[in-house]
Structure 1
Amino acid sequence: MKDQIGSFFYFPSINFQRAGGGFGPIRINNGIVINVPFPKPENEFDLLIGDWYQQSYKDVRTTGGMGYFTDWLLMNGKGPFSLVQNYESFTLSQGKTYRFRISNVGNLWSINFRIQNHKMVLVETEGSYTNQITLDSIDVHVGQSYSVLVTADQNASDYYIVATPKWVNLSNPNAIAAIGVLHYENSNTTANGSLPNGPDPFDIDFSMCQARSIRWNLTAGAARPNHQGTFNVSNVTLSQTFVLRGSVSLIDDAFLYTVNNVSYKTPSTPLKLADHFINGSGVYQIDIFPIHSSLPAAINGTFVVSGIHKGWLEIVFKNDLNVFDSWHLDGFGFFVVGFGLGDWTPEARSTTYNFYDPVVRSTVQVYPGGWTAVYVYLDNPGMWNLRSQNLKHWYLGQELYIRVYDPDPNPIKERPPPDNLLFCGMSLAYIDLILVYFYIIYWRDK
């Protein structure tokens, strides 16, 4: 946790357990010698908001969410004010400023977040301090986290805290909203009246304009006592470009989500073990995956692509689906350099990209029928998962792995598997090879 200070959340990454409530917040705080670009708030609050299935997640995962519809949005696991007694509430002192750490822990829906009669000052996202902008509401996409400052500068009363779904065709979006209460400590007035209106949930121009305004604060302190913008992308040389199209296809009579017409098939042997002991043989295929365009027909398989160690990788995410998508890369933060609608072309680098102060984050949205471009510096050796954070898309195959190989055996860079590791999924022949390997190592050390 030495490289980023900010707001994150954790969850199990298998078997749809996130849909069953398996998640929680993570705060990475600054060290004593690291200044933050705003005065210390009076208090800090975590807000975990997401869409929720009434059915058991075990039932939902049998179809990957196909045929199931979200019942409502929850706020910190609690139902909406006016419908439940145990709703979420935060108490503020008049005139004080507070930090709200907001995460979309849902499975499918992007949300718009707002607080009745209060402005929000955006200050951080996923470990990066941003240029401070004042907002009436903010779009938070699946897997994303933001920090906003809220000042209790209104009359003593109670006010609605609201999150509503985006890109969902509902006659009344407020009917399924997550609703909490901002309570002034000397208030005797219950929140009442209509919920504060948000932007049109189908207004992509609003959302994309807001996304482009979220930029890195180049003068703020990073995790170490130097400026965040010391390392920028204004003059980097690209080593690789991946153009990855997310879509859905019928494969073996089942609808699966794909990347460039490839749906990922999880092997029984962990990829890193297969890479370390048998060079991936019989477990995955290396550098067969189409990184620039889609295959003519959809297939199911286990593919790994090579990333050049200490090279700059450009990833262009394209979204053929009629829903918002979110993408996440393990092991790295990436520079979000551009958004657009329609087809991406290389000319976007000179006409659309922001090279000066693109924000660094770990999860980025891709608009329906649109594209998002990121730059990432592959300085972290390993086998890294690149996936949709939309739980249904991920569970049904919208992911791949990037192998960043460093020939230097220095264990500080990448530790080898421990000697007492249990090996599961490999054939008996491979297990025999591993036993022989450990036998040789044992007698060599003797």
Structure 2
Amino acid sequence: MEGLCSLISGLNLKVITINGMFPGPLINATTNDFIHINVFNNIDEPLLFTWNGIQQRLNSWQDGVSGTNCPIKPGTNWTYVFQTKDQIGSFFYFPSINFQKAAGGFGPIRVNNRNVIAVPFPKPEDEFDLLIGDWSYDSYKANPLELEQWSRVAIQQVPTGYRVLPDTILMNGKGAYGNPMAKAYESFTVTQGKTYRFRISNVGTEFSLNFRIQNHQMVLVETEGSYPNQIVLDSLDVHVGQSYSVLVTANQNEADYYIVATPKLVDLNNTDFKGLVGVGVLHYSDSVTPVSGPLPDGPDPFDIEFSVNQAKSTRWNLTAGAARPNPQGTFNVTNVTLSQTFILQSLGAEIINGSFRHGVNNVSYYTLDTPLKLADFFLNGSGVYQLDAFPTHSVNDNASYGVSVVSGIHKGWHEIVFQSKNFAFIDSWHLDGYGFYVLGFGNGDWTPEQRNTYNLYDPVVRSTVQVYPGGWTAVYAFLDNPGMWNLRSQLLKHWFLGQELYVRVFDADPNPAKERPPPENLLLCGIFDESLTPTSSPSPPPFAG
């Protein structure tokens, strides 16, 4: 599973490959399929995979993050089994621990519709998976402590807000067209007059990216398993962890055209950042004219209003078919009764016990050796974590470590407000196990009066949402999926350094139709030995206050 991939001439970079491929192979499924994925871990450290956007109905045992699964040890294998239930759309997978995503290991997932449920557009001539993302030549650290030490030194030596920027933007693991040092570039062949579906995912670690195709408009048709009102776009902002589908019609002269991805909030006129441009080629099948001239312009990368307006214009198509045989609009949020409100303030650069950390509400998540899901099932969490010690409405005075687990009311409507008032960049939040309704965006501190600005009529549903600098984003989530679910920043360094928590959705009914029991191949680790007998457990770090 591990190999060397030469992305740039003269550089042999350590990457994680799957079946010899970087990116990894496509998982091509149909809604309601059961998927069996046997992972052989041939790298020299523990490994987990998570399935970004796949909701794991009734089955958080297969979620593949540190709070739910023991890692697959080097030299061993483990089989994931999950169902792609109630979803039709574009997703991706990636390794979830030890900063491994920065070294690859990611790949696309398609969940196709059954014949009885039509998607709201004609079948395209072909479909293309396009994984875009930032890449750093030296960002992968086999020893997580190295990254933490590097981060701590960096934050002490430079002003607050300093970012160590990635080196380049890749498209399907390939460098930029026109870069004389690049070994390869991505190219898609189309036939004039035909329409194609591009499934685009931002698999990067830090940058929101603006995506565009020279001389071609795009029709937005899908957001992570939801179908919006179709809008025509010249360019599309794809934030870290997000997936979209767009339709592109090859309606130009027979020639080749640039495909471009550029980061938001980065001055590309600065010569230090010239490499931060991903470039591929849209090749017409009968073209004899190579691409030439300047790259197509996108919006001003510092124009946040452009991005916010595009996000607000992405609205649910209430008449489109859903994964069940009824329209998306069957599930509306116009008159819901809220069970809980979580107000989550992202923690900027802080030093906690001598280490540089990120976190939420001044709590930096402390990863235990024992998965929370194991402790919850066998010990009701006793001795491993303290339920609801995490402050969901306020910020502690002093930043601290904590094992952050909050109760989510089963089958309750939850309002979650993400705030980034101290950030100078675009954050991105993801909730495993669910899609949430994206209600609105705003500046400054969120207040209850902001509810008057929510779009409650046709908010789009997705599992990853952006939070703009100095602002807030509000979502509704209906927690009907029992389990232990990760709520995290998709910015890899932030997640790795503590910007996450877990939501425990508990149903006391032992009926396996409500939540599946542990799998027969359950891995054990932490305080559990092979006989499931608890051993001593280290005390988790205390919460401040």
How high is the TM-score relative to the length of structure 2? 0.77
Q: Secondary structure at the match of 1:39?
A: coil
Residue 325 of structure 1 corresponds to: 427
* Distance change (3 Å), C-alpha of 1:302 and 1:130: same
* Aligned AA (2:174): K
1:198 aligns with 2:298: yes
Instruction: State the Cα distance separating 1:427 from its structure 2 match.
Output: 6.8
Instruction: State the Cα distance separating 1:8 from its structure 2 match.
Output: 0.5
| CA distance in structure 2 between the aligned counterparts of 1:153 and 1:221, rounded to whole angstroms | 28
* Aligned AA (1:135): L
Q: Write out per-residue CA displacement over residues 292-316 of structure 1, whole angstroms, 9 at most, x where no aligned residue.
A: 0100110101121001100000000
| CA distance in structure 1 between the aligned counterparts of 2:309 and 2:221, rounded to whole angstroms | 17
What runs of 5+ residues in structure 2 fail to find an aligned partner?
1-83, 155-163, 536-545
Aligned with residue 7 of structure 1, among 81, 86, 90: 90
* Aligned AA (2:237): D
Q: Write out per-residue CA displacement over residues 161-209 of structure 1, whole angstroms, 9 at most, x where no aligned residue.
A: 0000111244256642100000111111000000001111111111000
| CA distance in structure 2 between the aligned counterparts of 1:10 and 1:410, rounded to whole angstroms | 30
User: Are the aligned partners of 2:208 and 2:263 in contact in 1 as well (CA < 8 Å)?
Assistant: yes
Residue 441 of structure 1 corresponds to: none
- Cα RMSD (Å): 1.8
| CA distance in structure 1 between the aligned counterparts of 2:134 and 2:178, rounded to whole angstroms | 18
Aligned with residue 39 of structure 1, among 115, 118, 122: 122
| CA distance in structure 1 between the aligned counterparts of 2:519 and 2:412, rounded to whole angstroms | 29
Q: Write out per-residue CA displacement over residues 143-178 of structure 1, whole angstroms, 9 at most, x where no aligned residue.
A: 000000000111111000000011124425664210
What runs of 5+ residues in structure 1 fail to find an aligned partner?
435-446
Q: Secondary structure at the match of 2:228?
A: strand
Aligned with residue 111 of structure 1, among 195, 202, 209: 209
**1:9-408 maps to which residues of 2 (within 5 A)?**
9-55=92-138, 57-58=140-141, 61=144, 62-63=146-147, 66=151, 67=154, 68-83=164-179, 84-172=182-270, 175-248=275-348, 249-319=350-420, 320-350=422-452, 352-408=453-509
How high is the TM-score relative to the length of structure 1? 0.94
| CA distance in structure 2 between the aligned counterparts of 1:177 and 1:200, rounded to whole angstroms | 14
Instruction: State the Cα distance separating 1:433 from its structure 2 match.
Output: 5.2
User: Are the aligned partners of 2:346 and 2:418 in contact in 1 as well (CA < 8 Å)?
Assistant: yes
* Aligned AA (1:312): W
User: Are the aligned partners of 1:105 and 1:143 in contact in 2 as well (CA < 8 Å)?
Assistant: yes
Aligned with residue 411 of structure 1, among 496, 512, 518: 512
* Distance change (3 Å), C-alpha of 1:42 and 1:424: same
Q: Secondary structure at the match of 2:291?
A: coil
| CA distance in structure 2 between the aligned counterparts of 1:284 and 1:50, rounded to whole angstroms | 35
* Distance change (3 Å), C-alpha of 1:56 and 1:244: closer
* Distance change (3 Å), C-alpha of 1:45 and 1:418: closer
Instruction: State the Cα distance separating 1:138 from its structure 2 match.
Output: 0.5
User: Are the aligned partners of 1:271 and 1:284 in contact in 2 as well (CA < 8 Å)?
Assistant: yes
* Distance change (3 Å), C-alpha of 1:37 and 1:305: same
User: Are the aligned partners of 2:98 and 2:142 in contact in 1 as well (CA < 8 Å)?
Assistant: no
Runs of 4 or more consecutive aligned structure 1 residues displaced over 6 Å after TM superposition: none
User: Are the aligned partners of 1:174 and 1:195 in contact in 2 as well (CA < 8 Å)?
Assistant: no
Instruction: State the Cα distance separating 1:56 from its structure 2 match.
Output: 5.3
* Aligned AA (1:10): Y
| CA distance in structure 2 between the aligned counterparts of 1:50 and 1:60, rounded to whole angstroms | 23
* Distance change (3 Å), C-alpha of 1:182 and 1:432: closer
User: Are the aligned partners of 2:333 and 2:457 in contact in 1 as well (CA < 8 Å)?
Assistant: yes
* Aligned AA (2:347): S
* Distance change (3 Å), C-alpha of 1:188 and 1:421: closer
| CA distance in structure 1 between the aligned counterparts of 2:199 and 2:428, rounded to whole angstroms | 19
* Aligned AA (2:187): S
* Aligned AA (1:266): T
| CA distance in structure 1 between the aligned counterparts of 2:114 and 2:236, rounded to whole angstroms | 28
* Distance change (3 Å), C-alpha of 1:345 and 1:278: same
Q: Secondary structure at the match of 2:384?
A: coil
Instruction: State the Cα distance separating 1:286 from its structure 2 match.
Output: 0.6
* Distance change (3 Å), C-alpha of 1:154 and 1:418: closer
User: Are the aligned partners of 2:528 and 2:534 in contact in 1 as well (CA < 8 Å)?
Assistant: no
* Distance change (3 Å), C-alpha of 1:427 and 1:410: closer
Q: Secondary structure at the match of 1:276?
A: helix
Q: Secondary structure at the match of 1:11?
A: strand
* Aligned AA (2:450): A
| CA distance in structure 2 between the aligned counterparts of 1:153 and 1:422, rounded to whole angstroms | 53
